[in-house]
Structure 1
Amino acid sequence: MNKLTHFSALVLLIMLFTVKNADAQTEIAFELSFSEPQAHYVDVKMILSGLDTDFIDVKMPVWAPGSYLVREFSKNVEQFGVKGSSGTEILPFAKTSKNTWRITTNHNKKITVSYKVYAFEISVRTSFVDDTHAFISPTGVFMYVNGMLNLPAVVTIQPFAGWKKVSTGLEPLKGFSYRASDFDVLFDSPIEIGNQDTFEFDAAGTKHTVAMVGGGNYDKLKLSVDMAIIVNSEKSIFDHMPNKRYVFIVHNMLKGGGGLEHLNSTVLGASRDGYATEKGYTNFLGLVAHEYFHLWNVKRLRPEALGPFDYDNENYTTDLWISEGFTAYYDNLILRRNDFYSPEKYLDVLCGDIEIVENQAGAKIQPVAESSFDAWIKYYRPNENSKNTGISYYNKGALLGMILDLEIINATKAQKGLDDVMKAMYAEYYLKLKRGFTSLEFKAMAEKVSGISLDTFYKEYVYQAGPINYSIHLDHAGLNLVNDYQGKELASLGLVASNKEGKLIVSSLMRDGAAWKDGISVNDEIIAVDGNRFTGAMEPAKVSTDLDQYIANRKAGEKVNVLLSRDGLIKTVSVTLLKDPKGKFHIENSNDATVDQFAVRKRWLNL
């Protein structure tokens, strides 16, 4: 090493020591309060102590990990201000980008940043405040100091009058104070504040708290038993429990759904009166199974792009079909393994995914790897043409999880399955190497476990948008996929129309369908077909049934005259009906299944 290199290395070491020492002196604390909850505001104070710099940049994340869309959380920030150590000195600041405020410290060692956040978006990934409770989705409320994401933070909450509980995965301190070891943990720890109904259960050596918000007809004892079954079942796959505490925050609404995973907690949306029906209850357990499986898959076993996070920009990966799709595969499979679904019911649910993929024209256009990469611009921003151009990495990924599972079980004579791949990946890349995996590394591990090449699987199913040969894969288990519409010549207009202000409005077209080819457009109002009046003033379901029934009584190849209004102008379009390409599927047992095929089926369906 020459002298110049020695000098450069010394300078670098000094710089690193200085930054590390500065971080060690800096302390960050937050105070949350609610002066106007009825107006949907949370008041935030960010107290920075031990500063030794002329200026700092404080930033608001632009997205929430697990929900791959830039949501521009800084749009909800207002009344930003900064005071010095005395509490009276007003410090200057300037906004330098959409989510960055540069603060001049004026040599103050301690400063207090104050701002309000408008929180009135109901979802599992956004904050919501009203006079009954507050849900804090951290990336939309807490700012961070640029370059100091590694610092710990303390959060103190001052609940609004009458609110008595706080539910969060953050480490509890005294009272309503909590600690995060760094900002990645803080941003991954949602907070529920109010009077939520809470209950606990132990499973897999971990204490679980369930915070029910909004009431509902749930049975706490039954949920405790069944949720514990799911926890134990999923833990058995990975043979490792990463934490000692876990929190479920459940928002029960008139109509609710969806979930978002976190490091040691999750937020679920549910229908408050849905627990009493078999379908509603199993749907909720499926949501629990999905989000809890993320405790391992994606929160720890993750593509390399998904951590450490860049909170300013998109974090691209082609492997969401593994992180989300495989999780979607396992959520239903876990219900089958624990007899919440019968084998027949599970196969029916599986056919639901098959129908979604096979009946969506976009499945022939967009590969699932591309769907994963483009989640940031497509999945969360659907339009009337989305189904013609893309496919969900959830549904397609779930089916690829099924196929890979069957291929591994078959190749290993029912000795191993996808479970073994997930466990081995978790042990290697999370527990041992402590990093994310690459696409090639996941493929290599699956090949190692199965003992077979997956070149064709990746080429045809992952990187191309070609058809899935379900028959060859299901045949490993002595099962057949049957299309109930096979051989039927069902006519189709190739459009979806719905009631909009009493009018029957075209909302979407099927690629290469009759309406697509002959010139009907989205937003056209359908007035009549062959002189038969159809109106959106009827019940929406009846409108759809009547129009579909009329077309069903015609034959592919026949012409119909559609009277429509486009931008206030009346016109007639002649449409040649085409054969409906959609399928309706069920899976049945082969009559001549071999012993080996039955062994695959037995392991797969936990018979």
Structure 2
Amino acid sequence: MLMMRKSAAILLLSLPLALSRPAAAQAPVHYTVAFPNAAHHEARITVTFRDVPAGPLHVRMARSSPGRYALHEFAKNVYDVQATSAQGKPLSVVKPDPYGWDVTGHDGTVTFTYTLFGDRTDGTYAGIDQRHAHLNMPATLAFARGLEQRPAEVKFELPAGWTVASQLRPDAGGYYAPHLQYLMDSPTSLGPQKVRSWQEQGRTIEMQVLHEGTDAELDAYVGQTKKVVKEAAAIFGGLPEYDFGRYTFVANHLPQTSGDGMEHRNSTSLTSNRPLRGTGTLDNLGTVSHEFFHSWNVERIRPQDLEPFDFERANMSSNLWFAEGFTQYYGELLLRRAGVYSDEQYCQEALSGIVDAMITMPGPKRYSPVYMSQQAPFVDAAAAIDPNNRSNTYLSYYYIGAGNALALDLELRQRFKTDLDTYMRTLWKQHGQQQNYAPAKPYTLQDLQRVLGEVTKDTAFAGQFFRQHISGHELPNYEQLMAPAGFLVRRAHAGQATLEARLQFNPDSSATLGTTLLGSPFYLAGLDREDVLLKVDGKKPTNAKEMQQRLAAHKPGDVLQVEVRAREGVRTVPITLQENSDLEVVPYELAGRPLTKAQKKFRAAWLNGKAK
């Protein structure tokens, strides 16, 4: 039994040696992506795994995607699966679960081939047609368990006129990624790209764009983007060291595109069916600004509970209020500093929405930003068909995070003669600058509090802020915080009577209630979603305009008799009108209030551009 054939001994000895080699020295995983049936939204993908250890090869499709926290089950769009050996021999393929395939009988090489269907162009899925292919890699490329640290090489077989936009490194006729984490984080757009490239602080910044507009519209879009890039870099004292010296805006603005933005280490995926002109310009620039800020915050200043990203489960973080919410705050602030917004537009487009959501919605009064972050797997593009009560229990971590970023920035400026820029820059130095295709020192919630204490030189304040506003749910006093900048928080429709309800008007001149908000007139009357209003104050609710005209004749506190068909039958209930609770933020000068020199100085220090 101790004796064995020489060939078998050599084989057994060679396996540990192969497995002990550095990942970069191991056989790369080779992908070929072709589009023989693009008209019907199909790609044909071939993956070759070499130097495969003995035993089954577990091939998987991702279930989740970086920057998305819910499950998306990308295997549902994969079919026509085949596997062969190095000699082309068919191999056994079995499906142990809905998410992957086990391949057995191989000789150390497995060529795995499948068809992918994709017809949604956004930051999560794959969109394929005769004009282009926009590929989010977790939705596109299968991988093998145990080979995640190997380099990957991707070859695209392109239709005539198509080019490649990707943060992947061009390499010998294909594209290179150092390991699976980087590969899956590299969205790729294929099509007749229009390219604009420029140098910024020794880095190459490029926009590769698919759109139907003019070159002049694209040039104007790029011009505004350059200003945003400069202002973002000014916050952190410079641009990151992009892994291959290049940052790419992978932009798709075709009519079939779904609106989305998704951050990545050295690129961002921008998708929108809005053209690069008119009202679409501001929306598209808002996405540019938000996603570019992510190249620091979340991609390099990264929460420890998201590192490394797990492609086979939902990924929960307690820190999305910071990773996404603070980015939401800065995305809008950068547009003001870049001169895209005036002060009035900044109030209308950014501050009013943040303050109104924080103060008037039930969620922030009940639950903390940490809790809202932990809900992401249920709300971040997650699909479910059962009703929920999120109107009364939830506010997006984008909004609740931005609301706390705004409050903290103003408080730092008023009490500590510092600002949120300094806080972000300090976090960058401690937790962001050190990189090797991944953050070397991801942060925890405790790190965020500790650095705040260092910046303010007041650990008691830092602890109190986190207890009250981050782990707790105490609301900031925005009226007080905004006053030094000469901004007024006020009722947007003071004295206006409202039902505070979402109504769907029906063809039979009835109206169906949506989920009623805590404390609203219908909620207090015991009415809820799917209850149908038959008459309001003796008249049928025919449409929104007519209902608004009717309410305009009343004042808050008036009682209306409402005939309603609920689950228990038809009844008439009294409804007490309330004052419209919508809030807005306006500059003092537009509200007829004098603006002092001190307020002008404070506002300028906060909102004016910082780039030189």
The residue that corresponds to 1:408 in the other structure is 412
For 2:451, give the aligned amino acid.
M
For 2:321, give the aligned amino acid.
W
Q: Following the alignment from structure 1 to structure 2, what is the Cα–Cα distance between the partners of residues 40 and 428?
A: 45
The residue that corresponds to 2:521 in the other structure is 514
> Offset at 1:579?
1.4
> Which 5+ residue runs of structure 2 have no aligned equivalent?
1-13
> Offset at 1:575?
3.2
The residue that corresponds to 1:248 in the other structure is 249
> Offset at 1:207?
2.2
For 1:97, give the aligned amino acid.
D
The residue that corresponds to 2:127 in the other structure is 128
- 2:379 aligned counterpart, secondary structure: coil
The residue that corresponds to 2:445 in the other structure is 439
The residue that corresponds to 1:48 in the other structure is 49
The residue that corresponds to 2:467 in the other structure is 459
Whether 2:561 is the aligned partner of 1:554: answer no
The residue that corresponds to 1:325 in the other structure is 325
Describe the shift of the 1:550–1:148 C-alpha distance in structure 2 as closer, same or farther (beyond 3 A).
Answer: same
- 2:64 aligned counterpart, secondary structure: coil
The residue that corresponds to 1:377 in the other structure is 378
- 2:195 aligned counterpart, secondary structure: strand
1:99-498 maps to which residues of 2 (within 5 A)?
Answer: 99-106=99-106, 108-160=107-159, 162-175=160-173, 177-216=174-213, 219-238=217-236, 239-243=238-242, 244-254=245-255, 257-273=259-275, 275-277=276-278, 279-348=279-348, 349-381=350-382, 385-413=389-417, 416-432=418-434, 434-452=440-458, 453-477=461-485, 479-485=487-493, 488=495, 490-498=496-504
- 1:151 aligned counterpart, secondary structure: coil
Question: Are 1:514 and 1:575, in contact at CA under 8 Å, matched by a contact in 2?
Answer: no
- 1:380 aligned counterpart, secondary structure: coil
> Offset at 1:533?
2.5
Q: What is the percentage of aligned positions where both structures have the same residue? A: 24
Describe the shift of the 1:253–1:131 C-alpha distance in structure 2 as closer, same or farther (beyond 3 A).
Answer: closer
- 2:325 aligned counterpart, secondary structure: helix
> Offset at 1:592?
8.3
Describe the shift of the 1:379–1:60 C-alpha distance in structure 2 as closer, same or farther (beyond 3 A).
Answer: closer
- 1:70 aligned counterpart, secondary structure: coil
> Offset at 1:131?
2.0
- 2:453 aligned counterpart, secondary structure: helix
Q: Following the alignment from structure 1 to structure 2, what is the Cα–Cα distance between the partners of residues 592 and 564?
A: 49
- 2:21 aligned counterpart, secondary structure: helix
Describe the shift of the 1:377–1:423 C-alpha distance in structure 2 as closer, same or farther (beyond 3 A).
Answer: same
Q: Following the alignment from structure 2 to structure 1, what is the Cα–Cα distance between the partners of residues 466 and 70?
A: 26
For 2:313, give the aligned amino acid.
N
> Offset at 1:102?
1.8
> Offset at 1:73?
1.0
For 1:158, give the aligned amino acid.
E
Q: Following the alignment from structure 2 to structure 1, what is the Cα–Cα distance between the partners of residues 15 and 478?
A: 58
Deviation digits for residues 270-316 of structure 1, max 9, x if unmatched? Answer: 3443x332x43233222111100101110110111122111112222
For 1:216, give the aligned amino acid.
G
Q: Following the alignment from structure 2 to structure 1, what is the Cα–Cα distance between the partners of residues 572 and 250?
A: 52
- 1:186 aligned counterpart, secondary structure: helix
Describe the shift of the 1:167–1:378 C-alpha distance in structure 2 as closer, same or farther (beyond 3 A).
Answer: closer
> Offset at 1:511?
1.9
Q: Following the alignment from structure 1 to structure 2, what is the Cα–Cα distance between the partners of residues 39 and 153?
A: 28
More divergent stretch after superposition (189-198 vs 318-327): 189-198
> Offset at 1:317?
1.6
Describe the shift of the 1:408–1:468 C-alpha distance in structure 2 as closer, same or farther (beyond 3 A).
Answer: closer
Question: Are 2:489 and 2:583, in contact at CA under 8 Å, matched by a contact in 1?
Answer: no
Q: Following the alignment from structure 2 to structure 1, what is the Cα–Cα distance between the partners of residues 95 and 72?
A: 19
> Offset at 1:21?
3.2
- 1:510 aligned counterpart, secondary structure: coil
Q: Following the alignment from structure 2 to structure 1, what is the Cα–Cα distance between the partners of residues 507 and 186?
A: 42
More divergent stretch after superposition (391-400 vs 351-360): 351-360
Question: Are 1:25 and 1:51, in contact at CA under 8 Å, matched by a contact in 2?
Answer: no
For 1:57, give the aligned amino acid.
H
Q: Following the alignment from structure 1 to structure 2, what is the Cα–Cα distance between the partners of residues 388 and 264?
A: 38
- 1:509 aligned counterpart, secondary structure: coil
For 1:573, give the aligned amino acid.
T
Q: Following the alignment from structure 1 to structure 2, what is the Cα–Cα distance between the partners of residues 334 and 41?
A: 39
- 2:432 aligned counterpart, secondary structure: helix
For 1:282, give the aligned amino acid.
L
Deviation digits for residues 208-242 of structure 1, max 9, x if unmatched? Answer: 33222241356122223221111122112222322
Q: Following the alignment from structure 1 to structure 2, what is the Cα–Cα distance between the partners of residues 256 and 154?
A: 29
Question: Are 1:216 and 1:272, in contact at CA under 8 Å, matched by a contact in 2?
Answer: no
Q: Following the alignment from structure 1 to structure 2, what is the Cα–Cα distance between the partners of residues 550 and 593?
A: 39
Question: Are 2:59 and 2:100, in contact at CA under 8 Å, matched by a contact in 1?
Answer: yes
Q: Following the alignment from structure 1 to structure 2, what is the Cα–Cα distance between the partners of residues 116 and 438?
A: 41
Q: Following the alignment from structure 1 to structure 2, what is the Cα–Cα distance between the partners of residues 174 and 132?
A: 26
> Offset at 1:589?
4.0
Describe the shift of the 1:17–1:429 C-alpha distance in structure 2 as closer, same or farther (beyond 3 A).
Answer: farther
Q: Following the alignment from structure 2 to structure 1, what is the Cα–Cα distance between the partners of residues 317 and 572?
A: 44
Q: Following the alignment from structure 1 to structure 2, what is the Cα–Cα distance between the partners of residues 22 and 201?
A: 36
> Offset at 1:458?
1.6
For 2:394, give the aligned amino acid.
G
Q: Following the alignment from structure 1 to structure 2, what is the Cα–Cα distance between the partners of residues 505 and 252?
A: 36
CA RMSD in angstroms comes to 2.7
Describe the shift of the 1:38–1:112 C-alpha distance in structure 2 as closer, same or farther (beyond 3 A).
Answer: same
For 1:466, give the aligned amino acid.
E
More divergent stretch after superposition (148-157 vs 95-104): 95-104
Deviation digits for residues 310-357 of structure 1, max 9, x if unmatched? Answer: 111222221111111111111111111122112232233311221123
| Higher RCO (CA 8 Å, separation ≥ 6 residues) | 2
Describe the shift of the 1:80–1:465 C-alpha distance in structure 2 as closer, same or farther (beyond 3 A).
Answer: same
Q: Following the alignment from structure 1 to structure 2, what is the Cα–Cα distance between the partners of residues 470 and 588?
A: 14
Whether 2:524 is the aligned partner of 1:523: answer no
Question: Are 1:51 and 1:110, in contact at CA under 8 Å, matched by a contact in 2?
Answer: yes
Question: Are 1:200 and 1:224, in contact at CA under 8 Å, matched by a contact in 2?
Answer: no
The residue that corresponds to 1:26 in the other structure is 27
Question: Are 1:557 and 1:576, in contact at CA under 8 Å, matched by a contact in 2?
Answer: no
Q: Following the alignment from structure 1 to structure 2, what is the Cα–Cα distance between the partners of residues 423 and 228?
A: 21
Deviation digits for residues 141-186 of structure 1, max 9, x if unmatched? Answer: 11221122111000011124x34212111101234x1111111111
> Which 5+ residue runs of structure 1 have no aligned equivalent?
1-13, 536-542
Question: Are 2:240 and 2:433, in contact at CA under 8 Å, matched by a contact in 1?
Answer: no
Describe the shift of the 1:417–1:271 C-alpha distance in structure 2 as closer, same or farther (beyond 3 A).
Answer: same
Q: Following the alignment from structure 2 to structure 1, what is the Cα–Cα distance between the partners of residues 331 and 572?
A: 46
Deviation digits for residues 56-101 of structure 1, max 9, x if unmatched? Answer: 21121111111221111111111222111111x1111222233232
> Offset at 1:256?
5.2
> Offset at 1:126?
1.0
For 2:219, give the aligned amino acid.
L
Question: Are 1:482 and 1:586, in contact at CA under 8 Å, matched by a contact in 2?
Answer: yes
Q: Following the alignment from structure 1 to structure 2, what is the Cα–Cα distance between the partners of residues 98 and 45?
A: 20
TM-score normalized with structure 2 length: 0.87
- 2:224 aligned counterpart, secondary structure: helix
Q: Following the alignment from structure 2 to structure 1, what is the Cα–Cα distance between the partners of residues 81 and 111?
A: 11
Question: Are 1:204 and 1:235, in contact at CA under 8 Å, matched by a contact in 2?
Answer: no
Describe the shift of the 1:485–1:459 C-alpha distance in structure 2 as closer, same or farther (beyond 3 A).
Answer: farther
Question: Are 2:559 and 2:577, in contact at CA under 8 Å, matched by a contact in 1?
Answer: no
- Number of residue pairs the alignment of both structures matches: 576
Question: Are 1:559 and 1:574, in contact at CA under 8 Å, matched by a contact in 2?
Answer: no
- 1:120 aligned counterpart, secondary structure: coil
